[in-house]
């Protein structure tokens, strides 16, 4: 399955979360680090759900962009 991951720049690095799997988050000082940490977090999260007898939610989030004009 492919999940949408939201990455955000923070004051100290980067953070990430999955809208379809609440509680699955990661941080890192660099983009590469947060991506690696998120992969590990996702694998651990799904393993934990399986161990608890839960099925991971099917991905349903999607991305979209909306262009707006911002007046000075």
**Which sequence spans correspond to the domains of the chain?**
6-51
Q: Which CATH number fits domain 6-51: 2.60.40.1180, 3.40.50.720, 3.30.160.250, 3.40.50.300?
A: 3.30.160.250
* Predicted TM-score (pTM) of this structure: 0.84
List, for residues 3-26, the tens digit of each pLDDT value: 999 999 999 999 999 999 999 999
List, for residues 52-72, the tens digit of each pLDDT value: 999 988 999 999 999 999 988
Give the separation between CA 23 and CA 30, rounded to whole angstroms.
Answer: 21
Sign of CA dihedral 48, 7, 36, 26: negative
């Amino acid at each position: 399955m492919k999940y949408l991951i939201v990455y955000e720049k923070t004051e100290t690095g980067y953070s990430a979360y999955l809208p379809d799997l609440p509680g699955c988050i990661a941080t890192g000082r660099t983009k590469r680090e947060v991506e690696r940490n998120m992969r590990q977090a996702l694998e651990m999260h799904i393993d934990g759900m399986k161990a608890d007898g839960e099925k991971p939610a099917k991905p349903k989030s999607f991305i979209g962009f909306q262009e707006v004009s911002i007046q000075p």
